[in-house]
Structure 1
Amino acid sequence: MDFQGSLYERFRQSAHVFEKNPLLAVPGRLAETWEVQREFRFGEVLARVDALKGVYADQGVSEGGRVALAFESRPEFVFHYLALNALGACVVPLNTDLTVAELSYQLGHSGCDAIVGLPLLRPLLASSIEASGRAIALSTNGPEGLPRLRNHANAAAVQTVPFDRAAAILYTSGTTGRPKGCVLTNGYLQTAADYARQLPPHLAFAEGVERQMNPLPLYHMNAINTLGTAVVTGSCYVMPGRFSATHWWNDIADTKTTRFKYLGIMIPALLAQPETERDRHSGAKVAFGAGVDPVLHERFEQRFGIPLIEVWGMTETGRFMCVDREPRQIHTRACGRPLPGMQARIVDDAGQEVAEGTVGELVVRHTAEAPRHGFFSGYLDDAEATEAAWAGGWFHSGDLCTRSSDGLFTFVDRKKNIVRRSGENISSAEVEAVLAASPLVKQAAVMAVPDALRDEEVLACVIPAAGVTRDRSLALALHRFAAERLAYYKPPGWIYLVDDLPITGTQKVQKHRIFPDGFHAGLPGLHDVRDQKRWKK
């Protein structure tokens, strides 16, 4: 079978050129905990991938099949991901911070044939399979532990040119309460990787030299694209696991990191660390990310001597905009300019382009002739939502921005009903649906409120059921109810107990009218339960 055009083929070509270069690296502290070596060279990864490819093939995995991976952010994910890609299978990376109910939905919706993951995750995965009601094979001992799979591939998938074949399904929150499955092709993965090579000289990847650390999880497109960039540039992807402000600079020095990815939440956490002489001598020269608070941007750069290059991107786009030159407007929320291969503009609700400096929705495309080239190929089993997102031949981001005369886009607000907490997209409708199921609740409306540490926090405005006592014990009970059904970051951090909610004539809640004088912590009936939101494995 000719796999030309697949990500695996691209990797195999790079492995022959950069055979002795490191592709993956982990800090020493994690190498010991995970019981893996500290670095994996291109040639060695190729050997591991090809060995896994053979075992997966023996177990019946073939073109068009779908396999979910639960390896968290460890090197094993990369080995299995590339091996499955080599066979023409589609990978579904799992977020194992989700609850059984959330995971079972994704397993059912994605139609995966099997799950392969870490032994410590077996109880969660087994429960999620049971809750899905589907017969999904599970192995926490590699593909060897799978029963032989029947070929579930559909004819359309098998006949697709490898470059256009689905390589991954990544789930991203929408406004309907259920996450959408973004289908990403081999073409998407490689277009995104090559796009990063177009950065201007002062930001460009030095081929075969860069070592980029990314703490974002591998079920995010950011991390998937970091791997793609490493593959096409012969550089090293440094995998530090879950972000730790305490270990951050030690890990950078330990792995000889030259650049890193960040989220806005990381910046105040790093600034809160005790100052040391090492601050300006970490070895990292530049960082790329999104959401840094303008108040902290200059402070970080002055203390650590590392420019924070703001970017904008989405799972659906693969490619990004980048604040590519001075002046970077670091005291604003400037989020970049598109590089060649992506076009962007600002439009009003009618889809008409607005004047410079006017707030409107950011829309993007490849070109007028081929608007969707290199973008996601659609939302899984949701053609209606896909076409709605592409109304007028442009992908509608749902983000409100402005554009200046020099082409710099600046983020203003979010149009969609999404809470952006610590880099995670949380659907307000999803949280509302969970709260509405509580017998303590008559009605609930969920919205985003500003948060100094996490960018935004989830706030639930709740009309309690008749006869329910309205005090802090109720707020804590509602938080517990949500926490039992949602991933740890999704339940409300603030609960506002109210008598009624402003509504339209069609009974839709008018969220913009809930706080006519602005949100503040001293409001009667408002309860801060943010200290209840803790990550647990």
Structure 2
Amino acid sequence: MLVPHESATIGGVLLEAAAAFGARPLLVAPPNAARGYDPEGRTITYAQAAQAVQGLMDRYREAGYGAGHRVALLLENRLEHMLHKLAMNALGICCVPVNPDYRPRELAYLIDHAHVDLAVVLQSRQADWQAGAREAAWQPPAVVFEQFDAALPPAPAPATHWTPGAGTPASILYTSGTTGRPKGCVLSHRYELAAGAYYATRGGLVDFRPEGERIYNPLPLFHVNASILSFYAALLTGSCQIQTDRFQPTRWWQEVRDTRATIVHYLGVIVQMLCAQPPSPGDTRHCVRFGMGAGVEPQLHAAFEERFGFPLLELWGMTENVRILVDCHPPRQVGTRAFGRSTPGIEVRVADDAGADVPDGTPGEMLIRHSAEAPRKDFFSGYLDDEAATEAAWRGGWFHTGDVVVRDATGMLHFVERRKNIIRRSGENIAAADVEAWLVTHPDVDMAAVMAVPDEVREEEVLACIVLKPHAAQTLQKPGAEAALLRSLFDHCSQGLAYFKAPGWIWFTGQIPTTGTQKIQKHGIFGAGVDPRTVAGMHDLRAWKKRRQAQG
């Protein structure tokens, strides 16, 4: 295993890896005849990756892109996403991955907030990008990915150097905030390499063998899990990342078998969908040694392991710090939402609202730091252009995760719930405030309160409680008016929000409880112990939520 020095950079480590592991595979796309690219699959070795990255570096540098620039990538889960990222990082360029499900207003926000200098966009996503760019104040040049070699626009302001350091921004990843628009998490070269090294050295059942592992990761490359956590663990250990285009339960096992995967990454929704597939003699015909993920339902944990023959290792991590905690040392606590203990490099406290430690067995917010001497070491560099939010998250010298946990007498940490106003749907973090802010722009909506409700497949779903304006409330009893209004509200959300953010449930109410300062009291809407999905007048719109297909 390569052990990156604290001053190491991504470009330098790639060259070391290519020299050490040259003929080994680094990136693999599994075969998929229905896919528009690489239908027969594709393998890129370490040596081939280094050569391709050098060619991309030459193109970026010739066009004037280098240290200080930011480049957006809208390449979905193509292997080229990682090649472009490596090339950019080697020159000191910061990569800004784009969620392909963003709607124009969300894209415009990213363009303006990140102030990107260039966008590299799939031809099939060009119309989506252009729609977002039309709503943005900042107008960066864009190049179609398929035409990259022939037509790279020159940098608006040419770079003056191409030498990054360990603290140079490597990525800006957007994560849902609790008060509205997403925050841009700035991640340095050091952060990304440290995350991979930490994963690969957890020990116990997380055992990266000298010959290398084959990590099947179906998660999107605009998230920290696939593009940083698993990828850099692979790069440092001579392993390879198997990057499928998207999780499909009917394809999962075939791709795992075809690619001889030895590690798989999962979310709770993936486990549920795999368990729902009919039992097959092939359930244990694979090479998987362990799964790494989070969110498995406690009642499915042991049953999955028994049926499919490998352990699911529950972990905890977040974009601000993805040096993971993981329950990987026997005896494990299967089915208890356990995810590890405080460990050197990630010190943990469990605190109450006042910041005081709570006794073991008592729920509290998880606060973390690297150490007393260097609390922020190997964490994110900060929220882009938001020092106030960064310092608020670090108040008292500890990072406030917003996650409520319980520590047991053995020191094991168990996840309870998210303290933040966040909905977790199929691995996507959705800020309730973002959905609320868009809902109230509908001409019929006076007030909206958005919250999470349980979902048997996707962990949580979005519920919108809506107070209508008087004119809309008066017409609601007319024949067909309610169905038309529901469609109008859903279409409005689909126009301004990524599909997964749209409400899966809508409930009309005459009032929403508030405090004396007009803050919404969500806990008072339905009362304790009530499943909102069972309340009279609740509308189930989940069947309407569909991912849009790329154009072209």
Q: What corresponds to 1:523 in structure 2?
A: 535
Does structure 1 conserve the Cα–Cα contact (< 8 Å) formed by 2:338 and 2:413? yes
CA deviations over 1:132-170 (Å, ceiling 9, x no partner): 1222111012264222113366x9xx7996001111100
- The residue number in structure 1 matching 2:464 is 460
SS in 1 for 2:292: strand
Mapped partners of 2:291, 2:162: distance in 1: 41
Matched, 1:345 2:349: yes
Q: 2:120 & 2:164 partners in 1: Cα distance? A: 26
Residues 32 and 495 from structure 1, CA distance in 2 versus in 1: closer, same or farther, beyond 3 angstroms? closer
1:175 pairs with 173, 178, 185, which one?
A: 178
- Letter matched to residue 528 of structure 1: D
Aligned equivalents of 1:436, 1:481: Cα separation in 2: 10
Q: Does 1:281 align with 2:285?
A: yes
Question: Which residue is 2:213 aligned to?
Answer: 210
Deviation at 1:117, TM superposition (A): 2.2
Q: Tell which deviates more after alignment, 161-170 or 520-529.
A: 520-529
Which of the numbers 154, 169, 172 marks the counterpart of 1:148?
A: 154
Partner of 2:506: 495
Partner of 2:198: 195
Q: Percent identity?
A: 43
Letter in 1 for 2:502: P
CA distance in 2, matches of 1:148, 1:30: 37
Q: Output the amino acid matched with 1:234.
A: G
Report which stretch shifted further, 259-268 or 327-336. 327-336
Question: Is 1:507 matched with 2:507?
Answer: no
Which residue of 2 is the match for residue 295 of structure 1? 299
Work out the CA distance in 1 between the residues paired with 2:140 and 2:465: 39
Q: 1:128 deviation in Å?
A: 1.6
SS in 2 for 1:231: helix
Contact 1:56 1:143 (8 Å CA) reproduced = no
Matched, 1:163 2:166: yes
What are the equivalent positions in structure 2 for 1:108-507 lying under 5 Å apart? 108-140=112-144, 141-142=147-148, 144-151=150-157, 162-224=165-227, 225-468=229-472, 469-470=475-476, 471-507=482-518
Q: TM-score, normalised by structure 1?
A: 0.96
Q: 1:103 aligns with which of 107, 119, 125?
A: 107
Q: CA deviation at 1:30?
A: 6.1
Question: Residue 510 of structure 1 aligns to which amino acid in structure 2?
Answer: Q
3-state SS of paired residue (1:475): helix
Q: Which runs of 5+ in 1 are unaligned?
A: none
Query: Any idea what SS the aligned residue of 2:404 has?
Result: strand
* Equivalent position SS for 1:34: coil
Structure 2 residue aligned with 1:41? 45
Partner of 2:249, secondary structure, is coil
Unpaired runs of at least 5, structure 2: 1-5, 477-481
| Distance in 1 (alpha carbons) for counterparts of 2:85 and 2:74 | 11
One-letter amino acid matched to 1:206: R
Instruction: Report how far residue 404 of structure 1 moved.
Output: 1.2
8 Å contact from structure 1 (residues 356, 403) kept in 2? yes
SS of the residue 1:145 aligns to: coil
Structure 1 residue 67 corresponds to structure 2 residue 71 = yes
SS at match of 2:55: helix
Which whole-Å CA distance do the structure 2 matches of 1:441 and 1:160 have between them? 52
Displacement of 1:14 in angstroms is 0.6
159-168 or 523-532, which moves further after superposition?
Answer: 159-168
Report what 2:3 is aligned to: none
1:15 and 2:18 aligned: yes
Q: Secondary structure at the match of 1:299?
A: helix
Q: Deviations over 1:354-404 (max 9, x none)?
A: 111111000111111001010000000000000000011111000000111
Deviation at 1:331, TM superposition (A): 2.3
Structure 2 distance, partners of 1:534, 1:376, is: 33
Q: CA deviation at 1:92?
A: 0.3
AA matched with 1:319: R
Deviates further, 29-38 or 380-389: 29-38
3-state SS of paired residue (1:438)? coil
Shift of residue 339 of structure 1? Answer: 4.0
Q: Deviations over 1:452-481 (max 9, x none)?
A: 111111000001111324334322321121
1:29-61 per-position Cα deviation (integer Å, ceiling 9, x unaligned): 169631375211000010000011001100110
Matched pairs, number:
532
- Across the aligned residues of Structure 1 and Structure 2, the Cα RMSD in angstroms comes to 1.8
| Partner amino acid, structure 1, of 2:224 | M
Q: Secondary structure at the match of 1:352?
A: coil
Structure 1 residues 324 and 339: alpha-carbon distance in aligned structure 2, compared to 1, 3 A threshold = farther
Q: In the alignment, is the contact (CA less than 8 A) between 2:453 and 2:532 conserved in 1?
A: no
Which of 23, 27, 32 aligns to 1:29? It is 32
Instruction: Tell me the alpha carbon deviations over residues 245-264 of structure 1, each in whole angstroms, 9 at most, x when there is no partner.
Output: 00000000011100110000
Per-residue deviation, 1:69: 0.8
SS in 1 for 2:340: strand
Q: Does the CA-based 8 Å contact 1:6-1:163 persist in structure 2? A: yes
CA contact (8 A) 2:284 2:309 kept: yes
Q: Deviations over 1:403-425 (max 9, x none)?
A: 11212100111111111111101
Q: Can you list the C-alpha shifts for 1:415-440, whole angstroms capped at 9, x where unaligned?
A: 11111111101010110011101111
1:521 to 1:351, Cα distance in 2 relative to 1, 3 A: closer
In the TM superposition, what whole-angstrom CA distance separates every residue of 1:69-99 from its partner, at most 9, and x where no partner exists?
1111111101110111111111101111110
Q: 2:471 is paired with a residue of what secondary structure?
A: coil
3-state DSSP class of the match of 1:52?
helix
Q: State the alpha-carbon separation in 1 of the partners of residues 158 and 71 from structure 2.
A: 11
TM-score (normalised: structure 2): 0.93
Relative to 1, partners in 2 of residues 1:58 and 1:123: Cα closer, same or farther, differing over 3 Å?
same
Letter in 1 for 2:60: Y
CA-CA distance at 1:337 after TM superposition: 2.1
Amino acid at match of 1:485: G
Question: Partner letter of residue 171 of structure 1?
Answer: Y
Q: Secondary structure at the match of 2:287?
A: coil
Asked if structure 2 preserves the Cα contact closer than 8 Å seen for 1:117 and 1:142, the reply is no
- C-alpha distance in 2 between matches for 1:340 and 1:367: 8
Given that 2:92 and 2:163 are in contact with CA atoms closer than 8 Å, whether structure 1 keeps it comes out as: no
